[in-house]
């Protein structure tokens, strides 16, 4: 369960910026939109939505989370000593260009809350730490200052031998997990449950959905989800075929043919099942359409989302979707949000973070989000992104969120296009 993510000196985040799933004292939508964590005094939000003008930093937030996840999972095995770390610091200030970037996650595993973070530049890890919390007090599991690592009482003494083999461009947590330390392994498993997709690239997500359909349990859930979306078909079918067979009658060059077949020995043919009716409106047979050539862009997009959505809901994962509403009908988008905010459809307390430009989701009539779930991203004239929820901005419950956002009241949209009057247009 994700509680909080913080980042500093990365892309457009010059200052420490956080997003939090911790529910505030707000009373609206308490039964639907929040859930009680295993820790008694911590209630968490099921979903967050991030708004902001183009280039305000919404996607940079997801890039920051993505970098942290990749570095935690792979730093101990995918790099060699002396290899550069692909971190991108804030470049528009002389204050930050030589300082390390900072990343931190707070999360709950079973009934324990952890706080893990690190500072890193392109050459090495400056610091790293892991704490756990009992009631309101934090305790050290380990603290690292460059290559000096201090072990807390609850870290296995056997891990001391791993201090010396942790490279300066690798994380100690990653090294511990690589050597099967139980705590590090469970933390890595939790961070692995943070998944990212973008609404502008359906291919990889479609392949993911197709693979999930081969599992009987996932197949039932995905087909139920697709049928409930009323997209005009009854069922979806995936057939694995040889790439060689697909290209057999093509006229592509032989060398290219060999490369394609070698890299993609098999392909998925995804078909949607439709009813065929006679003049009396009776079903007489079934017709299969090719998803990628016969169905609409919106249908293809929803199919691409279906696998990650079901995966998150089944296993209680965190799903992050950039450009969420791209090519999807607003009512379908609202249904997805309600899916996560539903106790019946989301019993494992999966969490959803989306970035959107569709302001109707925060229309007061829709009642989809609480004020602490609506985050506004703003970038100032110095290129610095800041993020605050409507709760942090002290917006009243009875305010017109959509109208005020579009009018620029929250500084989320500031657009005034014009052409200089120093030259004339020949119209």
For 208, half-sphere exposure in the C-beta direction (CA atoms, 13 angstrom radius) is: 19
Domain boundary among 285, 313, 341: 313
Question: Which CATH number belongs to the domain containing residue 385 in this structure?
Answer: 3.40.50
Same domain, 295 and 279: yes
Same domain, 308 and 209: yes
Q: What is the pLDDT of residues 205-223, one digit of tens each?
A: 888 898 898 888 889 999 9
Residue 238 placed within a domain: yes
Mean pLDDT computed over 139-148: 94
Q: The domain containing residue 246 runs over which residues?
A: 203-313
The greatest distance separating any two alpha carbons of the chain, rounded to the nearest whole angstrom, comes to 80
Residue 161 placed within a domain: yes
Residue found by looking up tokens 């077949």 in the block = 261
Share of the chain above pLDDT 70, in %: 89
Same domain, 166 and 27: yes
Same domain, 211 and 341: no
Other CB atoms within 10 Å distance of the CB of residue 348: 11
Same domain, 159 and 219: no
Domain boundary among 287, 313, 339: 313
Same domain, 216 and 159: no
Structure tokens at 328: 């999807």
Q: What is the pLDDT of residues 236-277, one digit of tens each?
A: 888 776 555 555 656 666 565 455 545 554 567 888 999 999
Residue 135's pLDDT is: 84
Residue 422 placed within a domain: no
Could you write out the three-class secondary structure of 46-81? CEEEEECCCCCCHHHHHHHHHHHHHHHHHCCCCCCC
Same domain, 136 and 256: no
Q: With a cut of 90, say whether residue 397 has pLDDT above it.
A: no
Question: How many structural domains comprise the chain?
Answer: 2
Q: With a cut of 60, say whether residue 418 has pLDDT above it.
A: yes
Residue 198 placed within a domain: no
> Quick one: which H or E segment has residue 109?
strand 101-109
């Amino acid at each position: 369960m994700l509680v909080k993510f913080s980042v500093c000196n990365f892309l457009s985040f010059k200052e420490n910026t956080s997003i939090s799933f911790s529910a505030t004292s707000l009373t609206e939508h308490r039964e639907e939109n929040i859930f009680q964590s295993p820790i008694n005094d911590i209630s968490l939000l099921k979903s967050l939505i991030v708004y902001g003008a183009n280039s305000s930093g919404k996607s940079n937030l997801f890039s920051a989370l993505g970098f942290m996840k990749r570095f935690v999972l792979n730093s101990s095995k995918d790099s060699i000593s002396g290899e550069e770390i692909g971190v991108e610091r804030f470049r528009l200030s002389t204050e930050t260009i030589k300082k390390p970037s900072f990343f931190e996650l707070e999360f709950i595993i079973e009934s324990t809350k952890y706080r893990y973070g690190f500072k890193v530049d392109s050459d090495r890890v400056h610091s790293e730490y892991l704490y756990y919390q009992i009631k309101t007090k934090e305790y050290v599991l380990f603290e690292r200052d460059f290559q000096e690592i201090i072990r807390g009482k609850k870290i296995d003494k056997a891990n001391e031998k791993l201090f010396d083999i942790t490279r300066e461009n690798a994380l100690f947590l990653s090294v511990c997990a690589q050597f099967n330390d139980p705590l590090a392994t469970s933390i890595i498993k939790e961070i692995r449950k943070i998944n990212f997709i973008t609404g502008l690239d359906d291919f990889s997500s479609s392949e993911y959905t197709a693979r999930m359909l081969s599992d009987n349990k996932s197949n039932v859930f995905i087909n139920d989800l697709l049928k409930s979306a009323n997209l005009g078909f009854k069922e979806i079918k995936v057939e694995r075929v040889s790439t060689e067979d697909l290209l057999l009658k093509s006229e592509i060059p032989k060398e290219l043919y060999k490369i394609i077949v070698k890299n993609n020995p098999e392909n998925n043919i995804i078909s949607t099942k439709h009813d065929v009716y006679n003049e009396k409106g009776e079903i007489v047979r079934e017709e299969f359409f090719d998803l990628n050539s016969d169905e609409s862009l919106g249908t293809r997009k929803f199919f691409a989302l279906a696998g990650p959505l079901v995966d998150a809901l089944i296993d209680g994962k965190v799903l992050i979707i950039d450009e969420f509403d791209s090519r999807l009908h607003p009512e379908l988008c609202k249904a997805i949000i309600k899916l996560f905010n539903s106790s019946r459809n989301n019993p494992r307390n999966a969490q959803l973070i989306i970035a959107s430009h569709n302001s109707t989701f925060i229309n007061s009539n829709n009642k989809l989000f609480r004020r602490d779930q609506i985050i506004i991203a703003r970038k100032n004239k110095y290129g610095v992104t800041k993020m605050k929820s409507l709760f942090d901005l002290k917006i009243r419950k009875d305010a017109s969120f959509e109208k005020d956002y579009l009018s620029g009241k929250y500084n989320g949209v500031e657009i005034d296009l014009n052409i200089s009057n120093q030259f004339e247009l020949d119209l």
